[in-house]
Amino acid sequence: MVNVKYKTATEFFNGVHNYIAFYNSERPHSLLRYQTPDKYEEMYYFYNPNRTCVVQEEQ
């Protein structure tokens, strides 16, 4: 993703989207015990079923 030249805004946003998907679902992170962020979150809620994700909407 570094030093990539995009021809259009759509191409750029697709590149960003693909990188975020890779970063969260395929790339293991040492801080998360070499799990992906998606897998870490899945296991977190599996072992902490009473926790919920709260999203606050802007007023």
- Summarize pLDDT for 1-48 with one digit per residue, the tens: 568 899 999 999 999 999 999 999 999 999 999 999 999 999 998 998
Between the alpha carbon of residue 38 and those of residues 15, 17, 41, the distances in Å are 19, 15, 5
Q: What is the reported pLDDT for 12?
A: 94
Give the span between the Cα atoms of 20 and 24, in whole angstroms. 6
Q: Which pTM was predicted?
A: 0.66
